[in-house]
């Protein structure tokens, strides 16, 4: 007997294989979306960091032009009193928190002020 057709077992095996392939593709798409959002937040963080540092740069330039030296750096826009300072900004619907840390670095007979900005945000999983 030569019967043509598909058995129930073949249909079940094909369905299981299709389900495994589809679940793998779904996982890839979800990971891709997360990575895209993370990259978007990082780019936005770069733009926000410029907003955090721009007032410092303006104040330092103004002090250098008026005083001729960096001795007024600690009063720069009241952002760097002491060793660190935290603040936050919102871009879109995401809140970014910045923490400034400053220190003096000795170079030859003088010193240079080093400012480090750590920027953080909460990612949605």
| pTM (predicted TM-score) | 0.57
Q: Using one digit for the tens of pLDDT, what is the confidence trace for 2-43?
A: 778 889 999 999 999 999 999 999 999 999 999 998 898 888
b (16+ CB within 10 A) / e for 85-118: beeeeeeeebebebebebeeeeeeeeeeeebeee
The one-character DSSP state at 74 is G
């Amino acid at each position: 007997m030569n019967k043509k057709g598909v058995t129930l077992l073949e249909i079940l095996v094909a369905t299981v294989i299709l389900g495994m392939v589809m679940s793998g593709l779904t996982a890839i798409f979800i990971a891709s979306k997360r990575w895209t959002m993370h990259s978007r937040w990082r780019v936005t963080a770069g733009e926000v960091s410029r907003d955090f540092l721009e007032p410092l740069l303006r104040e330092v330039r103004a002090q250098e032009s008026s005083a001729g030296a960096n001795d007024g750096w600690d009063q720069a826009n009241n952002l760097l009193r002491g060793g660190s300072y935290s603040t936050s900004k919102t871009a879109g619907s995401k809140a970014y928190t910045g923490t400034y840390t400053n220190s003096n670095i000795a170079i030859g007979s003088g010193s240079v002020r080093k400012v480090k900005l750590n920027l953080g945000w909460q990612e949605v999983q």
